[in-house]
Structure formats: structure tokens, C-alpha cells
Amino acid sequence: MVHNFGHIKEDGGEQLCRFFAINEGNNSIEVTKIETSCGCTSAQYTKGEIAPNEKFEVTVRFNPFNRPGRIDKHIYIIVSDSEAPIRLTIEGFVQERERTIDELYPFDMGGGLRLRSNYHAFGYIEHGSTMEEHIGYVNTSLEPIMIDIEYTTQSGHLSVSHPSMIPAGATGDITLRYSIAEGSDVYGTISDILYIIVEGKHARYTLGSEAIITDNFSMVDDISAPHADISKKIIKFGEINCANMVLEEVVAVTNTGASPLEVRSIESSSLAVEGIIDAMSIAPNQTIELRVRLNTEDIELTEGVFTARLRIITNDPTRPMQTIKVNAIID
């Protein structure tokens, strides 16, 4: 039921093993389906009827390339005389190969500058907090390069630390740092997009970051904290056309906690969707209506599936952000 490959090399090529079985029943059976838990694993098997006492085999192939570390993959076999799958397992360990510069720094910014990444999502940042991320770089050219930055979208809360000159062959980090003041009135999603200027030219890719700003929950008592309960997480408007129509669904927002729930921000990923709430403060055990409005005139699609998301930011310490997904089919 289990095959252990032992230690194999990441660049050692596809690995193969075989599992053998026998039909110990009194009736013929057949394998109706085989599924694997990962795209790196495939399975081939004996097709057709398997008579009583007849043997059959399953050949499993595993590709270790770009999958360093522990192997723990499963193969599920469905046979005609049972609904419960038979689970086979392959185990082992993939020894990591040496990475090329292009693999370690996949973003070619031009002029010899390469980055490990060109985007970072910081997640939640509370008021009064500072959070930073380091983006690795390398200068692959034979000469030193001069770099600078130029914002295209600026939140006012991001600082970027970088060298002005990078020697030939040198590696290092560009540091992205968000600082949110205590008592700030900023809530919800903030984002920054900037260009790195390499030897006076814009890099091939922008460098971006995003964070979700919340209250400072360090002093919040869990027992007396507010809790936001949203009645619907998915709204389906069904088939619509893009004539000038305004459609609306109502979502109940209930504070099941012991102190007032403050709605800090309601954001939409689309101009066509808007969230309108009766009150920004909800007392304990109180329910208010959030009206989710879809203006079809602002939908950019002419046909197909329209999807948008509403983000509701509150002072609920366990779920500061909750999302409502909005769907419609454009006829």
C-alpha cells in the first residue's frame, strides 16, 4: 500500500514504481477510475475486466522537478464492486538541486537587475504597527548599476529602502516598510505601485505591495469584543443584461459580541457593485441591513460571468475583514 522512494534528486528525472494486486473475490471486477493527489504524480493501470484470482498492476510515476522536500502523495483507486476508494501512497525525500540565478531571481527588471519577487501582500497591519518585507535582488551585469524609484500609486504609508548603486554581481535586499500611526483614520486596503529606475530607464515590471489596515487589537478582551456575523457570503443575481438596471440584495449584519461593532470600511472590487449600510455602529445583539447594489450600466463585460467582491472591514478582532462575493451572468 506504500512505496518509499528513499532520497532522490530533484533533477534525477521521473521516478517509477509498481503496485501489484489480485482479485480475491468470486466475481469479475474492473478499475473504473484512478485519481492522484498532485499533478506531479500519474498512474496507469490494467484496463478491462479482472477475473477472480487474476493479478493486475498499477504503475505510478512521480516527477520530482521543482518539488524539493518530503514526498507524501496519494493515489486513489475506484473499483466496480466498491464505492470506497483504495488509497496507495508514495513517500520519500527530494534533495534540492542547485538553482540558477534566473530561477532564484525570476524577475528581469532590465539593465542587469533581477528580483526575487515584484509583489508582496502584507496581510493585516494594525494601527500603531510597522511591518516590513525584503525583496532580494542581484546585479547580473559586469558593471555597477544606478537605481532609483518612482511611484505610480502611493498610499503615503510605505517607505522603500534601497541602495543607489549596486556593484557588479552584488546581491542584497530592497526593503518595503509600512508604518501605520496609532489613532490613524486609515482602514481597509492600501496599495502602492512603483517603478524601479535602472540606469535612468523604467524597469520592465512594476514593484507592488498591498496591506489591510485594521484597529489595534492588542488590548482587546476576547470576552467583551464585538463579533460580526454576515448572513450571506455569496450573492447570485442570475442572468441579466447590461441595460441601465439597478439590482439589489439585502444582507443582514449582526453583532453577536458584547461591545459595539464599528464598520470601518466597505470596499468594492468593481464600480458596478456598491455596499450601502444603515449604520456604521452596531450595538450588541443588533442587526442592520447591508444593501448590495449592482448597477448593470457599469459592468465592463458584454457577455459571460461577472464577478466582484465586497470587503467589509470592522473592529471584530477575530475577523477584521469579511468578503461577500457577487456573481451575475451577462446575457
70 and 174 both lie in a single domain: no
Domain end among 95, 127, 143: 95
Q: Tell me the backbone φ, ψ of residue 284, rounded to 5 degrees.
A: -55, 135
Q: Tell me the backbone φ, ψ of residue 324, rounded to 5 degrees.
A: -115, 125
247 and 308 both lie in a single domain: yes
21 and 110 both lie in a single domain: no
Confirm whether 183 is domain-assigned. Answer: yes
**Which CATH number goes with the domain that contains 269?**
2.60.40.10
Q: With b meaning 16 or more CB within 10 Å and e meaning fewer, what string describes 107-142? A: bebebbbbbbebebebeebbbebeeeeebebbbbbe
CA gap 157, 209 in Å, rounded: 11
Please give the tally of structural domains in the chain.
Answer: 3
160 and 67 both lie in a single domain: no
CA gap 61, 17 in Å, rounded: 7
9 and 83 both lie in a single domain: yes
CA gap 216, 125 in Å, rounded: 9
Confirm whether 221 is domain-assigned. Answer: no
Contact 122, 132 (CB under 8 A): no
62 and 150 both lie in a single domain: no
Contact 213, 181 (CB under 8 A): no
Contact 145, 109 (CB under 8 A): no
91 and 124 both lie in a single domain: no
Domain end among 41, 65, 95: 95
Residues 6+ apart with CB under 8 A from 279: 263, 288
What is the residue range of 72's domain?
2-95
Cross-strand partners of 59: 18, 44
187 and 240 both lie in a single domain: no
89 and 164 both lie in a single domain: no
Confirm whether 309 is domain-assigned. Answer: yes
As given in the structure block, the three cell numbers for residue 225 are 469584543
108 and 201 both lie in a single domain: yes
Domain end among 158, 190, 214: 214
Confirm whether 223 is domain-assigned. Answer: no
CA gap 137, 149 in Å, rounded: 14
Amino acid letter for position 228: A
Q: What is the DSSP string of 132-177?
A: EEEEEEEE-SSS-EEEEEEEEE--SSEEEE--SEE-TT-EEEEEEE
Per-residue pLDDT of the chain (331 residues; tens, 9 = 90+): 999 999 999 999 999 999 999 999 999 999 988 999 888 999 998 788 999 999 989 999 999 998 999 999 999 999 998 888 999 999 999 999 999 999 999 999 999 999 999 999 999 999 999 999 999 999 999 999 999 999 999 999 999 999 999 999 999 999 999 999 999 999 999 999 999 999 999 999 999 999 999 999 988 888 899 999 999 999 999 888 767 789 999 999 999 999 999 999 999 999 999 999 989 999 999 999 999 999 988 888 777 899 999 999 999 999 999 999 999 998 7
pLDDT at position 315 = 96
Confirm whether 276 is domain-assigned. Answer: yes
106 and 208 both lie in a single domain: yes
8 and 66 both lie in a single domain: yes
pLDDT digits (tens, 9 = 90+) for 203-230: 999 999 999 999 999 888 888 999 999 9
pLDDT digits (tens, 9 = 90+) for 24-71: 999 999 998 899 988 899 999 878 899 999 998 999 999 999 899 999
Q: Tell me the backbone φ, ψ of residue 70, rounded to 5 degrees.
A: -70, 140
